[in-house]
């Protein structure tokens, strides 16, 4: 008997962060229906690398700009409307925050301490990636320093 192989759609996303008063803050955004707090992510655009596509999503969904760290943090999987997705995650030290961006009327955004962000996010696998960020505070500080 043959087993149906389900396609896993590839996506990429970012953990947007900044250092404010010596503390690391992460930017979370809501889903379009405002039901959950998430990070910017989406399908990998044709002809783009996963980090570049993640940067594009960060602009469209959150109005943020920065140089995405090309070192993959990890990945997580989720299901939505019967489809499976795998998201490759990257760090994004935020350099600019715009008040005018493509999805400004469809989402909310909020800067949070990493621990508060972990509590607010529902997906366990995304919480795990955020915890990794917390463990790598020194790396985040170095990335922030070199991106400014």
C-alpha dist (Å) from residue 72 to 35, 88, 106: 27, 7, 28
Choice among 25, 60, 96, 99 that is catalytic = 60
Secondary structure letter of residue 121 according to DSSP: B
Can you give 65-79 as a three-state secondary structure string?
A: EECCCCCCCEEEEEE
- Helix H segments across 40-136? 50-62, 114-120, 124-135
Cα(119)–Cα(121) distance, rounded to whole angstroms? 6
Active site (annotated) includes residue 60: yes
Start-to-end C-alpha separation, the chain: 57
- Nearest to 12, CA basis, from 73, 64, 63: 73
Q: Which residues are catalytic?
A: 60
């Amino acid at each position: 008997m043959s087993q149906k192989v389900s396609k896993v759609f590839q996506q990429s996303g970012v953990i947007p962060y900044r250092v404010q008063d010596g503390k690391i803050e992460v930017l979370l955004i809501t889903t379009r229906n405002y039901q959950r707090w998430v990070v910017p992510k989406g399908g990998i655009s044709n002809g783009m690398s996963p980090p570049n596509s993640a940067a594009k999503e960060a602009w469209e969904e959150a109005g943020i700009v920065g140089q995405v760290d090309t070192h993959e943090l990890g990945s997580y999987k989720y299901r939505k409307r019967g489809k499976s997705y795998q998201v490759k995650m990257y760090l994004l030290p935020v350099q600019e925050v715009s008040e005018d961006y493509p999805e400004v009327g469809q989402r909310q955004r909020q800067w949070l301490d990493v621990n508060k962000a972990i509590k607010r996010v529902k997906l366990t696998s995304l919480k795990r990636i955020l915890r990794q960020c917390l463990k790598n505070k020194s790396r985040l500080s170095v990335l922030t320093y070199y991106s400014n």
